[in-house]
Amino acid sequence: MEFKQLKIFLEKKMRMSHIYQPVMILNLLMRGGESDRSEIAEYILSFDESQIEYYEKVVDNMVGKVLRKHKIVTKEKSKYNLNDYTQYSKEEISELKYICRLKIQDFIDKRRNVWEHRKKSSGYISGSIRYEIFKRANMRCELCGVSNKVKALEVDHIIPRNKGGSDDFSNLQSLCYSCNAMKRDKDDTDFAQMRKMYDDRDSDCLFCNIDESSIIIENELAFCMYDKFPVTEYHILIIPKRHVSNYFDLFQPELNAVNQLIQKTKKLLDRKDSLITSYNIGVNNGVDSGQTINHCHIHLIPRRKNDTANPAGGVRGVISDKQSY
């Protein structure tokens, strides 16, 4: 393409939903007109603020913490320094670089088979989605609970793509490398049967036969609607689509799905009513807890100043004489 044509494309014809096009062209211009796919990907990644923020946390809380403990590096504000670097000769620096590259390559070789498997079975998960999954999990493995400070985290499909799992946010989870490898090697769950279970409905259940016009927001596995007998204005119910009576019987993807809707509906209500200052979240599990509809549902109840004389104790009020303490 001639210079003028490329200039016109950049200035007038290029339609951008992200920064990827100009970043790729810039990378090619900087590398003499030719660049490997992996080099372009790395360059795009350098512009992804969500990933930069995530790896800044990795630097400080994982690798930087370990290297400071061993007195390899020191840190002042955001700057890291390799201790005694100025005392190394050029030959010593070259030898250390060589050892680092050997260690990196050895690690890559050991992980190559795992990565290839993930590419085939899991599909591609973008950097921004990975960051959101890690953030939702508070930078922890959602199975064993280990922090990213201890083990590297990965994003995994709960129901694998090659078993029919989708890329929906609710079907993704944060796993440490150990749990993900263990799940891959030993999980013999019949995922086809699990998918069928998500379609379970009860013809006599109110929530299994809800009028679609009542649904405010939904995702693959759950939906939300206004409570018909609200405790406060905009009282919302978050309901799994599968007919399941108890919160404790929800599958992990359903827990992800209802939590996602809790966050979304809260933001919706915050925009809708500026007088909302707090929320109660509650679930009735079983007749003795007060459950009247035998289909799991979570109450999101917006609260406002002075909506009750004494709010202290909150959900403790399910047993009235225990609310105040």
Between the two ends of the chain, the Cα-to-Cα distance in Å is 76
Of residues 104 and 278, more confidently modeled: 278
Alpha-carbon span 160 to 125, nearest angstrom? 13
Which range is least confidently modeled, 112-116, 163-167, 226-230, 276-280? 112-116
Task: Give pLDDT tens digits for 12-35.
Answer: 888 877 778 888 888 888 888 888
Alpha-carbon span 49 to 55, nearest angstrom? 10
Fold of 207-314: HIT family, subunit A (3.30.428)
Alpha-carbon span 82 to 68, nearest angstrom? 10
- Residue 182: count of CB within 10 angstroms of its CB: 14
pLDDT class of 265 with cuts at 50, 70, 90:
very high
Of 2-6, 89-93, 109-113, 177-181, the range with the highest mean pLDDT is 89-93
How many residues in the chain? 325
Which range is least confidently modeled, 52-56, 83-87, 261-265? 52-56
Residue 224 has pLDDT above 80, yes or no: yes
**Average predicted confidence (pLDDT) for the chain:** 83
pLDDT class of 119 with cuts at 50, 70, 90:
low
Of residues 307 and 150, more confidently modeled: 307
Which range is least confidently modeled, 114-123, 177-186, 232-241, 299-308? 114-123
Start and end residues for every CATH 1.10.30 domain found in the chain: 123-194
DSSP 252-289: HHHHHHHHHHHHHHHHHHHHH-TTEEEEEEEE--SGGG
Start and end residues for every CATH 3.30.428.10 domain found in the chain: 207-314
Residue 50 has pLDDT above 80, yes or no: no
Q: How far is CA 200 from the centre of its chain?
A: 27
Look up the pTM and report it.
0.52
Question: Which one is the CATH code of 123-194: 1.10.30, 1.20.120, 1.20.140, 3.40.50?
Answer: 1.10.30
Residue 247 has pLDDT above 50, yes or no: yes
Of 59-73, 113-127, 294-308, the range with the highest mean pLDDT is 294-308
Sign for the CA dihedral angle at 89, 95, 96, 98 comes to positive
Q: Do residues 170 and 253 touch, judged by C-beta distance below 8 A?
A: yes
pLDDT class of 225 with cuts at 50, 70, 90:
very high
Predicted local confidence at residue 231, as pLDDT: 94
Of residues 63 and 324, more confidently modeled: 63
Of residues 275 and 188, more confidently modeled: 275
In the chain, what percentage of residues exceed pLDDT 70? Answer: 88
Predicted local confidence at residue 258, as pLDDT: 92
Average pLDDT for residues 193-209, to the nearest whole number?
A: 84
Provide the annotated active-site residues. 297
Phi and psi torsions of 174, nearest 5°: -90, 120
Predicted local confidence at residue 300, as pLDDT: 96
